[in-house]
Structure 1
Amino acid sequence: MEVHTRHTPTFGVARIVLAEGEAVQAPAKAIMASSFGVSVSRPVRGEPTVLTAPSGGGWVDLAPETPGDVYPLGFDGRSGWCVSTVPESRVLARPASIRRDATWPGLQHLFGGDHGFLEHYGGAGSLVLSAKGPVDLLNLEGGEMVTVRPAFLVAYPDTIQVRLRAVDPAGPQSVRTGQGLALDFAGPGTVLIQARR
């Protein structure tokens, strides 16, 4: 799978180039166009659509519902990434070589037994993310710290140190939406944020 982006960072579109028989998952509403012969199926109601290339390969153009950037996030097969779901999933395209791990221990450590505003992914290949506004990379040196509000978070590697805390312990908080919470990161590592919310 190859990813080519255009019209970024304001109205990003991702062209996913697939080899023969290769498949990718994407939200049905994001499918803008495809080469002739790409098959479209939805295996289970509520799950993303699966797009499969015909003999000779093909391509699919995907556009998020809201204006902003599209960002191909490379996975090396050794470490994973935590991706924000606030206010909705940021995953625009996911190949079969990248899996979502709902029981990853790092998320259980952050949220306890509750389902929070992050999803963990691992594997190899490119996970295409959507963001509101341009994606900024905060490159942290060893020991450097930064605080990020959940509404602006796009993703971070699972190798970086992170702590979830209340902005105001007396104020309202929600691990599902990130309301009233902040994430403290300690380098080394890179945190992806979006320039709009």
Structure 2
Amino acid sequence: MEVHTRHTPWFGVARVVLSAGEAVRAEQRAMVATSFGVSVVPDGTAGRRAANPPTTFTAPAEGGWVDLAPQHPGDVYALELPTTGGWCVARDAVLASPATMRDDPLWSGFRQLFGAEPGFLRHVSGYGSLVLGSGGPVEAFSLEAGEVFTIAPAYLLGYPDAVQCRLRALDPAGPQSLRTGDGLVLDVAGPGTVLARTRRAAS
């Protein structure tokens, strides 16, 4: 699987090039076009009435491609997953994921951040290109060992799971949401690279 991007950073489109029988998973409404013969199969567990079911795109014997675009204007970013470790990425930012990627909703690192509640991040591991959609261009913050910075969840795209993080309230007496990150900030300590979007996510 290869990812080629165009029309970045404001109206990004990702072309996912697939080998024979190779598959990629994305939301149905993210599909702009495919080469002829690519199989498009919505997830049956989503129910027939789902407006935007998760969908698997599989290349025929001669291979093929799928063009995918975010719902809103912005960039697309191909994140190369390492073979060891994983990444924490914004739940609403994943545009496409390869079959070689695993999604781990019970990852132990989230218990320290969110407790038993589902949060605004998801943990992914495996290998291959994970395609992220971003509001505006993608910004990379490279942190040295021991360097700490603070980011608002609405602008966060992702970070490697080896970095240290702490979630805290801007105003302990104010409203907060683990699902959206409203009223919260995330303190991140290096070494590591944190990816951010330059336009906040829609709440």
Q: Common fold, TM-score beyond 0.5?
A: yes
User: 2:75 matched to which residue of 1?
Assistant: 69
Q: Aligned partners of 1:101, 1:26: CA distance in 2, in Å? A: 17
Shift of 1:76: 1.6
SS of the residue corresponding to residue 110 of structure 1 reads: helix
User: 1:26 matched to which residue of 2?
Assistant: 26
User: 1:128 matched to which residue of 2?
Assistant: 131
Of residues 51, 55, 64, the one that matches 2:61 is 55
User: 1:11 matched to which residue of 2?
Assistant: 11
TM-score, length-scaled by structure 2? 0.94
Q: Note the aligned Cα RMSD (angstroms).
A: 0.8
- Whether 1:140 and 2:140 are equivalent positions in the alignment is no
For residues 10-60 of structure 1, what are the alpha-carbon distances to aligned partners after superposition, in whole Å with 9 as ceiling and x for unaligned?
Answer: 000000000000000011001001110000001324351000000110000
Deviates more, 1:63-72 or 1:38-47: 38-47
User: 1:38 matched to which residue of 2?
Assistant: 38
Percent of aligned pairs sharing the same letter: 60
Q: Aligned partners of 2:13, 2:35: CA distance in 1, in Å? A: 15
SS of the residue corresponding to residue 109 of structure 1 reads: helix
User: 1:109 matched to which residue of 2?
Assistant: 112
Give 2:20's aligned amino acid.
E
User: 2:188 matched to which residue of 1?
Assistant: 185
- Whether 1:153 and 2:156 are equivalent positions in the alignment is yes
Shift of 1:109: 1.7
TM-score, length-scaled by structure 1? 0.96
Q: Where do 5+ consecutive residues of structure 2 fail to align?
A: 47-52
Give 2:31's aligned amino acid.
I
4+ residue segments displaced more than 4 Å: none
Q: Aligned partners of 2:125, 2:181: CA distance in 1, in Å? A: 23
Q: Aligned partners of 1:81, 1:25: CA distance in 2, in Å? A: 18
For residues 106-144 of structure 1, what are the alpha-carbon distances to aligned partners after superposition, in whole Å with 9 as ceiling and x for unaligned?
Answer: 012210011111100000101000010000000000111
Give 1:34's aligned amino acid.
T
Q: Aligned partners of 1:143, 1:78: CA distance in 2, in Å? A: 22
